[in-house]
Structure 1
Amino acid sequence: MRFMVIVKSDEKTDVAGAQPSAEELQEMGKFNEELVKAGVMLAGEGLLPSSEGFRLQYSGTTEARVVDGPFAESKELIAGFWILQVKDRAEVIEWMKRAPFREGEIEIRRIAEMEDFDNATPEIVEHEQNLRKQAEAN
């Protein structure tokens, strides 16, 4: 099973743009190394503050409206993420309990697989598998 672990942002990291200390970066590097050595980490990145981001808003037309950050009015911004491949929910929870956080919140969501969609025909599944192979080759 694949899970996305979403690290929530806060006033300090998003609005003020505070960066992690050298000690925090070292701790996170050690944790990431454990994840990689265990073979469960597929990806993981920190994100810059929303002041450097933008959103596309759709409202029933084919044209999207671009809205530049920051998004101070948003209550739940994302500071970073991991994509982990583990055997089940319990394993991802155990891994993330070991993350070197002192405060804040993370959200964990299972990534949908083609098998999760009732309407995925064999042709759709094959097409998706081919796209994934191409993406991995990139």
Structure 2
Amino acid sequence: MRYMLIVKATKYSEAGVRPSDELIASMSAFNEALASAGKLLAAEGLQPSASGLRISYAENGGLPQVLAGPFEDPRELIAGFTLIDVESEEEAIRWALRMPNPSVSGEGEIELRLLCEEVSLLNSSTGLALETDLRDQLGMLKRR
């Protein structure tokens, strides 16, 4: 079962405040533990939403609207993610609880979400490309 640990943005991450060296070291240790256990598929941080774009589709159809960031509510935004492959929801929760608090201010939030495992999604060309890329990343981490 694949889960995504979604690190919610904060006013600090949206302002581009760099995490402390201590937090970076803690996150590196957490990611290394996941990799050593063969559970880590990917882990990335994201730039603040000021560098992002949002594409919206109208309810009645028509052309999509492209809106440049920054976006309003940091709690609705994502600062980073970790993708894991585990045996159960309980194991995913155990790993999520081991993740260091990602917030500079101490009020971090991590959302845990199960990925869709539908065959039709995995057999699409996009799904196959993503799966291949993730397997390559996992292979690189295992060689470390």
Q: What RMSD, in angstroms, separates the aligned Cα atoms of the two structures?
A: 2.0
What residue in structure 2 maps to residue 7 of structure 1? 7
Please, what TM-score do these two structures have when normalized by structure 1? 0.81
Among all aligned residue pairs of Structure 1 and Structure 2, give the percentage whose two residues are the same amino acid: 41
Deviations 1:9-35 (A, max 9, x none): 111111x22111222111111110110
Please, what TM-score do these two structures have when normalized by structure 2? 0.78
2:108 to 104, 109, 113: 104
Equivalent pairs, count: 127
Q: Aligned partners of 2:74, 2:21: CA distance in 1, in Å?
A: 28
Unaligned stretches of 5+ in structure 2?
134-144
**Aligned partner letter, 2:69:** G
Unaligned stretches of 5+ in structure 1?
116-124
How do residues 40-119 of structure 1 correspond to structure 2 at under 5 angstroms? 40-59=39-58, 60-73=60-73, 75-101=75-101, 102-114=106-118
Q: Is residue 123 of structure 2 the alignment partner of residue 129 of structure 1? A: yes
Assess, with a 3 A threshold, how the Cα gap between structure 1 residues 107 and 32 changes in structure 2: closer, same or farther: same
Q: Aligned partners of 1:63, 1:130: CA distance in 2, in Å?
A: 25
Assess, with a 3 A threshold, how the Cα gap between structure 1 residues 9 and 74 changes in structure 2: closer, same or farther: closer
